[in-house]
A = this chain, B = another copy of it.
Amino acid sequence: MIEAGLKPSVTRKSGVALWRQIADQMRQAIGSGALGADGRLPPEFTLSQRFGVNRHTLRSAIAALVQEGVLRAEQGRGTFVESRKRLSYPISARTRFSTGLRDQTRDRRSVLLADAVEPAGERVAEALGLAAGSNVIRLETLSEADGRPVSRATSWFDAKRFAGFARHYAKTGSITASFQKFGIDDYFRHSTLVSARHADAADLTDLKLSPGAIVLVAIAVNVDPKGKPIQFAETRFAADRVELTVSTEA
């Protein structure tokens, strides 16, 4: 492929590190389509020669762009340009995952990865309004849209009130539908805490992310119509695939 648009030029001893100059030029070239127009970058060695630097120096530049989410490197295959379309995930009093992403994706589904009954930790017990050490159901779930992992959630429920919840969820793939089996036809998002951090090893695997990727973490409490907490959940979203929309309808 001819990449006529890329005119590499780096200046030594300019006060700006070579790898940074290269990263800046590559970012620009990718944006304008002069580089990686077919979604794929030339091999590291080729690029390093083109810029007139050592392969390691070029690798530093690539590493920076991988961090930013511009590129994705796969051992043995090559380095690829990341697509940047983000799904919009609404957070409101009526937040539900499946309805939230409706109309934005053709295919979406939720999978139950694991479930367990165990004594509640301090944080979980407090959020659900249970006595410390009460049994809770823990659900580990993964949600995908158009075949790509979007979020990975850990949810807790009162084991006494919601005995068998995991079984219902495994069948329906829906929290809302599972709650209905317990006579809860409606529920509300009480509060949500949003933070962001780098993906840990587990996130990388489950969400199929590159090292250094960012996850948006939403910690939420859902309550039934009477205001009693029924679900405590921590959801990790792949930050390069999702943005959160907070609707504050006053």
Let me know if A68 is at the binding interface, CB within 8 A.
yes
Q: Which of B69, B189, B212, B249 contacts A212 (CB 8 A)?
A: B212
Contact bitstring A227-248, B, C-beta under 8 A = 1, else 0: 0000000000001101111111
Q: Which of B93, B216, B239 contacts A250 (CB 8 A)?
A: B93
User: Is the beta-carbon distance between A196 and B196 smaller than 8 angstroms?
Assistant: yes
User: Is the beta-carbon distance between A250 and B195 smaller than 8 angstroms?
Assistant: no
User: Is the beta-carbon distance between A194 and B69 smaller than 8 angstroms?
Assistant: no
Q: Which of B64, B192, B239 contacts A246 (CB 8 A)?
A: B192
- Residue of chain B at shortest CB distance from A63: B63
Q: Which of B188, B189, B212, B246 contacts A194 (CB 8 A)?
A: B246
Q: Which residues of B contact A95 (CB under 8 A)?
A: 248
Q: Check A67/B198 contact, CB under 8 A, given A248-B191, A248-B248.
A: yes
The prevalent SS among residues of A at the interface is strand
A208 to B189, CA, bound (A): 35
Interface size of A by Cβ–Cβ distance < 8 Å? 37
A231 to B194, CA, bound (A): 23
Q: Which residues of B contact A68 (CB under 8 A)?
A: 197-198
Q: Check A92/B248 contact, CB under 8 A, given A197-B68, A197-B69.
A: yes
User: Is the beta-carbon distance between A67 and B193 smaller than 8 angstroms?
Assistant: no
- Residue of chain B at shortest CB distance from A223: B250
Q: Check A214/B198 contact, CB under 8 A, given A93-B248, A248-B190.
A: yes
User: From residue A129, how far is it (CB to closest CB) to chain B in Å?
Assistant: 18
A65 to B118, CA, bound (A): 32
User: From residue A57, how far is it (CB to closest CB) to chain B in Å?
Assistant: 14
Q: Which residues of A contact B (CB under 8 A)?
A: 64, 67-69, 86, 88, 91-95, 188-198, 211-212, 214, 216, 239-240, 242-250
> 5 new A-B pairs (CB below 8 Å) besides A194-B244, A196-B196, A214-B214?
A91-B246, A94-B250, A194-B194, A196-B216, A197-B239
Instruction: Write 20 A-B pairs (CB below 8 A) sorted by A numbering.
Output: A64-B211, A67-B67, A67-B198, A67-B212, A86-B195, A91-B246, A91-B248, A93-B250, A95-B248, A188-B250, A189-B250, A191-B246, A193-B245, A194-B245, A194-B246, A195-B242, A195-B243, A195-B244, A198-B214, A246-B246
In the A-B complex, the 8 residue pairs with the smallest Cβ-Cβ separation, listed nearest first, are: A93-B250, A196-B196, A195-B243, A192-B246, A194-B244, A196-B239, A93-B248, A196-B214
